[in-house]
Amino acid sequence: MTLIVSHKDDAVHKAWMFRVLRGVADDVALVKVLVFKGGTCAAMRGFLDRFSVDLDFDYIGSVDEMDAVRKKLERLFSDLGLTVKDASKEVPQYFLKYPAKEGQRTTLKFEATNLLSKANKIEKVRFVDIDRVLLSHTIETMFAHKLVALVDRFERHGSIASRDVYDIHRFFMSGYSYNEEVIQDRRGVPAHEYLKELYSFIDVRITDMIINQDLNVLLKPDQFQKIRLVLKEETLTFIRDELRG
C-alpha cells in the first residue's frame, strides 16, 4: 500500500520522508532501536487513507545508547542534505528543513520518544513504498494509542487534532481491534471506562471548526467534503456501540 498524496505539493514531502526511512532501515544500529509508529506508519501499511507528514518512532534502546543514536541520526540527516532547524535535548526529536519551492512545505518532523507502554506489541514489517523492513507497532497497538491520543494531546498541550478523530473513525470503520492493555497502561483505568471519557470529550469539544483545522490538508478535497459532515456523529456511534457491547 502506497502513502496517499492529497495535494500535488505533498509529493516532495513524501519523497524526503522515504529517504529518511530508507536511511534508518539501512543502518544496522538504528533499525534495532527505532520502532516505526503513528499516522505515516499506519498509512504506509494501508490502515489509513490520508496523507501524514511526520515520522514517529518509539526508542527502545538503552539510555546509554541514546547519544550514539543521536549522532547516527544527525549524520544521516546531513548525508541526505537535510538541515536541523531545531532539536530536543530530551529525546531524539528534530525539525528538519529540506529545499522546496516558495509556498511549499519545507519542514519534516522526526521524533523518537522513550515514553513507552509496556503493553505495546511490535512486529517486523516490509514497507512496500521503500522496499525495506522496519519494526512497527501492530494495528491493535496503533488503534489503542490513537484512542488515547485525542485526550492526551489536549491534556499535555491544550490542543485538539481532528486527524485523531478521523483515524479513530477509520479504524472503527475497518473493523480493527484495539489493545485494551495499552489503554489501561496509559490512562490507569480499564478501556471501557476510558471510552466513556473519550465519548464525552468528542461530544463536547469536537466542533466543525476543529474538524476543518488540519484534516482538510490531509485529505483529497472531495474526500474531506464527504467525511466532515458525518465524522463526529459516526465516531460517537462507534464508541457508543463499544460501550454497549
Tens of pLDDT, residue by residue over 132-168, are 999 999 999 999 999 999 999 999 999 999 999 999 9
Is 8's pLDDT higher than 90? Answer: no
pTM: 0.94
DSSP, res 65: G
What is the structure's pLDDT at 81? 97
What is the structure's pLDDT at 34? 98
Is 73's pLDDT higher than 90? Answer: yes
228 Cβ contact partners less than 8 Å away, ≥ 6 residues apart: 208, 211, 212, 215, 216
pLDDT classification of 1: cutoffs 50, 70, 90: low
pLDDT classification of 240: cutoffs 50, 70, 90: very high
Q: Mind listing the pLDDT tens digit for each residue in 198-231? A: 999 999 999 999 999 889 989 999 999 999 999 9
What is the structure's pLDDT at 6? 65
Is 5's pLDDT higher than 80? Answer: no
User: Cα–Cα distance between 104 and 100 in angstroms, integer?
Assistant: 6
User: Cα–Cα distance between 149 and 140 in angstroms, integer?
Assistant: 14
**In which residue are the cell numbers 519494526 written?**
135
User: Cα–Cα distance between 159 and 120 in angstroms, integer?
Assistant: 25
What is the structure's pLDDT at 4? 73
DSSP, res 116: -
What is the structure's pLDDT at 3? 79
Q: What is the mean pLDDT of residues 115-130?
A: 96
Mean pLDDT of the chain: 95
